[in-house]
Amino acid sequence: MRIGMVCPYSWDVPGGAQQHCRDLAEALISDGHHVSVIAPSDAEAEVEHDYLVSAGRAIPVPYNGSVARLSFGFSSANRVRRWLRTGNFDVLHLHEPAAPSLSLIAAWLSDLPMVATFHVAMPRSRGLFLASHTMQGALEKISIRIAVSEAARTTLIEHLGGGALLIPNGVTVKRYENSTPLPGWPRRTFDSKGTSIGFLGRVDDPRKGLAVLLKAFNRMAPQRPGLRLLVAGPGDQDEALAKVAPPYRDRVTLLGLVSEEDKVRMLHSVDLYCAPNLGGESFGIVIAEAMAAGAPLVASDIDAFRPVVRGGEAGAIFPVGDDAALAAEAGALLDDPKRRQALAAAARKEVQAYDWQRIAREIEDVYEAVALKSTQIKVV
What pLDDT does 137 receive? 77
Whether the pLDDT of residue 374 is over 60: the answer is no
What pLDDT does 15 receive? 83
133 or 172, which is more confident: 172
| pLDDT per position as a tens digit, 310-360 | 989 999 999 999 999 999 999 999 999 999 999 999 999 999 999 999 999
Whether the pLDDT of residue 148 is over 60: the answer is yes
Whether the pLDDT of residue 218 is over 80: the answer is yes
333-353 b/e with 16+ CB inside 10 Å = b?
A: bbebbeebeebbebbbebbee
* Overall average pLDDT of the 292-313 stretch: 94
Of 120-134, 167-181, 310-324, 326-340, the poorest mean pLDDT is in 120-134
Whether the pLDDT of residue 183 is over 50: the answer is yes
Cross-strand bridge partners of residue 91: 3
Whether the pLDDT of residue 109 is over 90: the answer is yes
Of 20-24, 82-86, 129-133, 284-288, the poorest mean pLDDT is in 129-133
Share of the chain above pLDDT 70, in %: 92
Closest CA to 57 of 16, 65, 44, 66: 44
| pLDDT per position as a tens digit, 230-271 | 999 999 999 999 999 999 999 999 999 999 999 999 999 999
Instruction: Give pTM, 2 decimals.
Output: 0.86
Domains of the chain: 2-170+355-371 (3.40.50.2000), 174-353 (3.40.50.2000)
Residue 147, burial from CB neighbour count under 10 angstroms (0-12, 13-18, 19+): buried
Model confidence band, residue 130 (pLDDT cutoffs 50, 70, 90): very low
Closest CA to 283 of 63, 66, 119, 64: 119
